[in-house]
Structure 1
Amino acid sequence: MMKFKEFGNKQHKAIILIHGYGISWRMWQPQIKAFSNDYFVIVPVLDGHDTENNSPFTTVEKAAADIIDYVLQTYGNQVFAICGASLGATIAADILAQNRLEIAKAIIDAGPIVPMNPFLLKLSVNYRISQAHSMKKGSRRLKQLLSRTFYPPEMVDDVFRIGANMTDESCRNVHLSVFNYALPPSIADTKTDITYWYGSKEAWLGKKYAACMLSIVPSVKIKIFKGLDHGELCIGNPDLYINEATEFFNA
């Protein structure tokens, strides 16, 4: 059963923050600290990513439905904003497509919404499972490689904890679901003000995903962050993320 973390005053407007693959809800800690002053912040701990619970990740659609069900039961159907990154962004997009919550604002940060080439997907799944196995063995080389990226030291440790706990089933299911995901036409019915973000270093995929979103929801606002790679905005530049999100929320 999916767990949820809650921060701030429940009487305030709610914001949902959905983390990406292979990292925990803690990736949002700077955003939680900033947003919980004025909002009630709900942070799902996605299945397959909970070191205290071995519930396997199944599909993007089930994750979206589980989050919707929880919010309806504990808060209500009106949510101010939903923000997702990578896998979390695809889940956020599916929450919008399910049209069961009334959401004012949505930040979809580099979420895959166009199916991947089957051959490339197979390679990706095998690579990610192999990577998780390396984390289980405490690979020093992999830890050094991650330490040279935009991940802060505490996030590198967090990634290794999640990877060491990740089952092959969850790893496989995440990738087969998210990279086979096709944005449902039902998202055209949403009343949500949506912005799709991606970094210029991931434009080879981000551009395709943004074009897909625009083709179904012509009102979506596209924003490209120069010089940033996948996940680098929310994890590597949280202050910039908070500033950009706040500007979008207040628009």
Structure 2
Amino acid sequence: MYVRTFGPPEAPAVLLLHGGGVAGWMWDPLRERLGDGLRLIVPDLPGHGGSSGEPYRSHDRTVRELAGLLARENPDGPAAVVGFSLGAQLAVLLAASRDDLVDRAVVVSAQAVPTPFPALTVGLVGATAGLARRRWFARLQAKELFVPESLMEDYVRTSAGISRRTLTAAVGENIRFTVPAGWAGFPGRALVLAGERERGLMLDSARVLHGALPGSGLAVVGECGHGIPLQRPGWLAERLRAWL
């Protein structure tokens, strides 16, 4: 995977995992507000951005690759993982399966209640995948994701580079996701976030993830839809600094 790192090597490590259809650049507004006291590890997930040459295949395969990345980039101790949407599901899986590598997890807008009739949804996504390469359609999608104008060209470029194979695999994994068994036994700290204006399914998912892990925190973020890191990066940076 294509990876960028920021901050001093000796600082506490934080792995930032972006959502589907975007790339590591989505964390730029948050990263600029977090300051210099952390070491940020920011990959482009398979099939996205700088990693678009290798298609997204599955959550399990990606989690194995992320575990290898953490072992290489942070060999001296466990790291915090912050994930959004698709990346939040990966954060849950990493915490659930590799608590030797992860001791804190921030889960932002993760779906954990499966979508009804997933095959129908994936088929529709596959049939319309070509629209993502059209600039007008990409800009419409960007607004739904609260991408600011300053990052619009990054989104348009990323959207054009996502293959049908990546899109259908990532969406299929996302809408079928359920809470993994190991999540209930995660010994570290966890915080689950969702926007108050998200779909009911997403708010239910946040409650399910929180309820499945005793001692985890839960916050519903006011005036936000499915886009907390881009809608309220200042608020999220302040919350993360205090929590981390």
The residue aligned with 1:124 is: 121
Residue 180 of structure 2 corresponds to residue 184 of structure 1: yes
Alpha-carbon RMSD across the aligned residues, in angstroms, is 2.2
The residue aligned with 2:162 is: 166
Structure-2 change in CA distance of 1:171 and 1:183 (3 Å): same
Among 121, 132, 135, the residue aligned to 2:132: 135
Residue 226 of structure 2 corresponds to residue 244 of structure 1: no
Structure-2 change in CA distance of 1:161 and 1:179 (3 Å): same
| TM superposition shift of 1:21 | 0.7
Identity of counterpart residues, as a percentage? 20
Bigger mean CA deviation after superposition, 151-160 or 123-132:
123-132
| TM superposition shift of 1:63 | 1.2
Equivalent pair of 1:9/1:36 in contact (CA under 8 Å): no
Q: Secondary structure at the match of 1:84?
A: strand
Bigger mean CA deviation after superposition, 166-175 or 107-116:
107-116
| TM superposition shift of 1:77 | 5.9
| TM superposition shift of 1:43 | 0.8
Residue 229 of structure 2 corresponds to residue 234 of structure 1: yes
Q: In structure 1, what is the Cα distance between the partners aligned to 2:140 and 2:199?
A: 26
| TM superposition shift of 1:127 | 4.5
Q: In structure 2, what is the Cα distance between the partners aligned to 1:141 and 1:55?
A: 24
| TM superposition shift of 1:133 | 1.4
The residue aligned with 1:33 is: 32
Q: In structure 1, what residue type is equivalent to 2:185? A: D
| TM superposition shift of 1:81 | 1.6
Equivalent pair of 1:68/1:100 in contact (CA under 8 Å): no
Q: Secondary structure at the match of 1:83?
A: strand
Describe the superposition over 1:108-158 as per-residue Cα deviations: whole angstroms up to 9, x where unpaired.
0011223221x2x334334544554123233x2552564587321133322
Bigger mean CA deviation after superposition, 233-242 or 141-150:
141-150
The residue aligned with 1:212 is: 208
| TM superposition shift of 1:97 | 0.9
Q: Secondary structure at the match of 1:202?
A: coil
The residue aligned with 2:114 is: 115
Q: In structure 1, what is the Cα distance between the partners aligned to 2:39 and 2:32?
A: 11
Equivalent pair of 2:16/2:42 in contact (CA under 8 Å): yes
| TM superposition shift of 1:73 | 2.3
Describe the superposition over 1:189-234 as per-residue Cα deviations: whole angstroms up to 9, x where unpaired.
2111111100111150223212321332121111001221001x20
Q: In structure 1, what residue type is equivalent to 2:201? A: L
Describe the superposition over 1:63-118 as per-residue Cα deviations: whole angstroms up to 9, x where unpaired.
1211111111232262342100000100000000112434332210011223221x
Equivalent pair of 1:31/1:238 in contact (CA under 8 Å): yes
Q: In structure 2, what is the Cα distance between the partners aligned to 1:148 and 1:136?
A: 16
Unaligned runs of 5+ in 1: none
Q: In structure 1, what is the Cα distance between the partners aligned to 2:31 and 2:145?
A: 23
Structure-2 change in CA distance of 1:16 and 1:67 (3 Å): same
The residue aligned with 1:151 is: 147
Structure-2 change in CA distance of 1:107 and 1:100 (3 Å): closer
Q: Secondary structure at the match of 1:78?
A: coil
Q: In structure 1, what residue type is equivalent to 2:84? A: A
TM-score of the pair, normalised by structure 1: 0.88
Residue 95 of structure 2 corresponds to residue 99 of structure 1: no
Aligned pair count reads 244
